[in-house]
Structure 1
């Protein structure tokens, strides 16, 4: 499984690199190199941790994003996410490097972006520790004894991984130096919120105890906000 983790991580980084540097028209983009290195190192770190502490969850997270057990709407959603993700990277590369639509961001903002990316992946480690069923796809993992996760960050919000993703959405344009990258963030947040609502409907209908969990934990992403 470690070999598969390393292989998929390298393939993902290579694909992102092709989009970023291809759209930028140059490899002389230190921020993009740092972005890929940061994501790669942190992804392997959390993957190695999962391999040791929860190999079942790691297997789920390495599985294809389109699966038979998955809800049909979620299949279309994740395909759309992949397309938007690719377009987002291309847009930021065109903005920051090829056409320079955005003025260069000050170093403190770029550093803040890197910090946000780090915090996102670091927070996911606590999400995985609290929820062994945090698969990328929306489905009931009956074969793994799927049950409600309500400890750790799940005691405060119902979707802590989505909450962490908010940091990633904010940090990526800062780190890559693209103000235009922020134009996609509200759309991505709304889409993530839509998925969270649909996911809750499925879990409430099919997972014992989830309806009670919703009643106990009021907020989805951010306490006292939503």
Structure 2
């Protein structure tokens, strides 16, 4: 009886330890969003909207970006350049798989077009102005850390760029847009700006849930043998 009890106890301790080890490596998916909107200066176009979505998890070195122009009031809108900051050194991140393929990301981005002199860490633009991002064509790319994994603080704690124009203030992301619908007092180009928002909740992987359940079964068996 003592030997059986000892084996059961050893098994339960082993399973519980494995369960705790697996929990430490649980993926923590996150989604960061930002809605860039046109600046409020009266001489600039309004109804400018650019939606940015970034997905990743805390056990991965790669995040996936989508820049989606959503400005139906400007049917001919084109993205001239996309600007953003990250709470990482520019030398610690690389960018790949850009679509359209003529786009690329460079650093730093000083005096961003249309921003009132704001400086950013990164700028995405196209080597071929004829191929651009529009209401119907998103810009997508991947950002990969050369060491370590992504987490939400690397976005939410990114620096704020500051415009020389008091109307604009500060922002973490920006977009210079062209070919806008203009009237008698508005330009045919403009700047939209915004901040990172969002985060995520830990989602246990299937193996973690299996180990958790197995650990509970082992502990239940231990209690039964104690009663016997």
TM-score, with normalisation over the residues of structure 2?
0.25
Greater strand share, 1 or 2? 2
Greater helix share, 1 or 2? 1
TM-score, with normalisation over the residues of structure 1?
0.26
Structure with greater Cα Rg: 2
Higher relative contact order (CA 8 A, sep 6+): 2
